[in-house]
């Protein structure tokens, strides 16, 4: 019998790619999503890729009664992957209470239900944002976490602590926090990908929308950083590589292969790439003459960060495999598909 995995936020960007990889690895998936930042049609697209329709329920995990009711009706869940969260850094500065309620209360409701209904395993979506601007690069899992720059970042830090403390107090519970660097790209089928609402805040969706003619030109935020070309450096990881790491984390927890009850892993490629390098690579692989201009730095941005992935590589036996070229091409193919561009 296939193990059942609850994927919260499973119609979202990273969630949908993870659902595909889980199904293709033989897991049965139930998605819970409130569709506040994703589309129901994604369920159809997942089914088109895998041939299996994931179960889907729409509700808000901050609703304690609905969350309890869900677990009462679904007693046989082996593990949870908790993606459902708000993630816009700028918006979180404007609406801190929304971010704290949405991101923290949902996790607390899930953990409470895990204890009550004996669901032993959880994988949590964390972020490299917990490191702030580190003094030493690349960052390992031991790099100290710094005071977060935004309420969004703080929800990730607090959530990690809630998870760690709850696991410590409950011997039946095990969890893995995955700290993502910058997820980009889309599934090879171009049937699922990132679907930002409104003007994209993130770099790659803004680039693909500019290439598609939806945006006038890309603004590159800052060329006076202490980096080789002056633009900021990030670790851009293909979303499918990231999704595969979740399957490995689920295998580890459900197979009791974890070393500690609470573990943390960095998920990146290990390569730092500058914003300008990424822009030039996009132009080269797509042949699109992307318009861009250099403007001032964006408030709250850090200068440079990339991952030391050796712990994930050795302990999980997982490694990011896709090149930056493949990754950017997949993002462009997805954008072309949803815009009907040949």
Applying CB under 6 A, does 327 fall inside the site for ligand UD1?
no
Q: Residue 85, interface with ligand UD1 (CB under 6 A)?
A: no
- Residues near 125 by Cβ (< 8 Å), separated by ≥ 6? 9, 14, 81, 82, 83, 85, 178, 180
What is the rounded distance in angstroms from the CA atom of residue 180 to the CA atom of residue 157? 13
Cα–Cα distance measured from residue 12 to residue 211, given in angstroms and rounded to the nearest whole number: 23
Closer Cβ to ligand UD1, 143 or 182, answer by number = 182
Residue 298 found at the interface with ligand UD1 (CB under 6 A): yes
Does 201 interact with ligand UD1 (rule: CB under 6 A)? yes
Which one, of 41, 35, 17, 151, lies nearest residue 84 by Cα?
A: 35
Residue closer to ligand UD1 (CB basis): 296 or 317? 296
| C-beta closer to ligand UD1: residue 30 or 218 | 218
The single residue of 152, 180, 225, 262 carrying the catalytic annotation is: 152
User: Cβ distance 83 to 18 under 8 Å?
Assistant: yes
Give the residue with the Cβ less far from ligand UD1, 43 or 130. 130
Mark residues 16-55: x for contact with ligand UD1 by CB under 6 A, - for none. ----------------------------------------
Q: Is 209 one of the binding residues for ligand UD1 (CB under 6 A)? A: no
241-244: long-range pairs with CB below 8 Å, 24+: 241/269, 241/320, 241/321, 241/322, 242/14, 242/17, 242/18, 242/180, 242/183, 242/267, 242/320, 243/14, 243/17, 243/18, 243/20, 243/21, 244/21, 244/318
Q: Which of residues 261-290 bind ligand UD1 (CB under 6 A)?
A: 275
Q: Quick one: how far is CA 257 from the chain centroid?
A: 23
- Token pair belonging to 62: 């901050």
Q: What gap in Å lies between CA 339 and CA 114, rounded to an integer?
A: 41
- Binders in 240-259 for ligand UD1, by CB under 6 A: none
Binding letters toward ligand UD1, positions 165-184, x by CB under 6 A: -----------------x--
Contact between 102 and 85 under an 8 Å Cβ cutoff? The reply is: yes
- Which of residues 232, 245, 249, 307 is near ligand UD1 by CB under 6 A? 232
Closest distance of CB 35 from ligand UD1, Å: 19
Segment near ligand UD1 (CB under 6 A), from 30-38, 185-193, 295-303, 329-337? 295-303
Query: Is 219 among the residues that bind ligand UD1 (CB under 6 A)?
Result: yes
Q: How many residues does the chain have?
A: 342
Is 180 annotated in the active site?
no
Binding mask 114-153 for ligand UD1 (x = CB under 6 A): -------------x-x-------------------x---x
State how far the alpha carbon of 155 is from the alpha carbons of 9, 98, 123, 159, 290, in Å: 16, 11, 16, 6, 35
CA distance 290 to 293: 10
Contact residues for ligand UD1, defined by CB under 6 A: 87-89, 127, 129, 149, 153, 182, 201-203, 206, 218-221, 232, 234, 275, 298, 301-302
């Amino acid at each position: 019998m296939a193990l059942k995995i609850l994927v919260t936020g499973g119609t979202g960007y990273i969630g949908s790619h993870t659902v595909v990889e889980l199904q293709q690895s033989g897991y049965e998936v139930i998605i819970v999503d409130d569709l506040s930042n994703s589309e129901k049609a994604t369920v159809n697209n997942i089914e088109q890729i895998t041939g299996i329709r994931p179960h889907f329920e729409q509700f808000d995990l901050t609703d304690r009664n609905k969350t309890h009711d869900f677990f009462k009706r679904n007693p046989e869940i082996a593990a949870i992957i908790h993606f459902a969260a708000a993630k816009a850094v700028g918006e979180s500065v404007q609406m801190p209470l929304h971010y704290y309620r949405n991101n923290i209360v949902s996790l607390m409701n899930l953990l409470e239900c895990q204890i009550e209904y004996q669901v032993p395993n959880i994988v949590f979506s964390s972020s490299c944002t917990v490191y702030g601007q580190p003094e030493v690069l690349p960052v390992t899992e031991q790099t100290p976490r710094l005071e977060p720059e935004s309420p969004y970042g703080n929800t990730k830090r607090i959530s990690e602590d809630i998870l760690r403390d709850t696991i410590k107090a409950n011997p039946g519970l095990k969890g893995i926090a995955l700290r993502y660097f910058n997820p980009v790209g889309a599934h090879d089928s171009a049937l699922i990908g990132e679907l930002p609402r409104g003007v994209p805040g993130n770099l790659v969706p803004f680039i693909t929308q500019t290439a598609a003619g939806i945006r006038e030109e890309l603004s590159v935020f800052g060329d006076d950083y202490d980096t080789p070309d002056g633009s900021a450096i990030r670790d851009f990881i293909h979303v499918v590589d990231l999704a595969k790491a979740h399957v490995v984390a689920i295998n580890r927890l459900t197979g009791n292969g974890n070393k500690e009850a609470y573990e943390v892993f960095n998920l990146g490629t290990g390569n730092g790439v500058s914003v300008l390098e990424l822009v030039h690579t996009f132009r080269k692989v797509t042949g699109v003459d992307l318009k861009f201009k250099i403007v001032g730095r964006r408030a709250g941005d850090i200068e440079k960060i990339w991952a030391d992935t050796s712990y994930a590589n050795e302990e999980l036996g997982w490694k990011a495999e896709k090149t930056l070229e493949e990754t950017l091409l997949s993002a462009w193919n997805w954008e072309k598909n949803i815009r009907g561009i040949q």
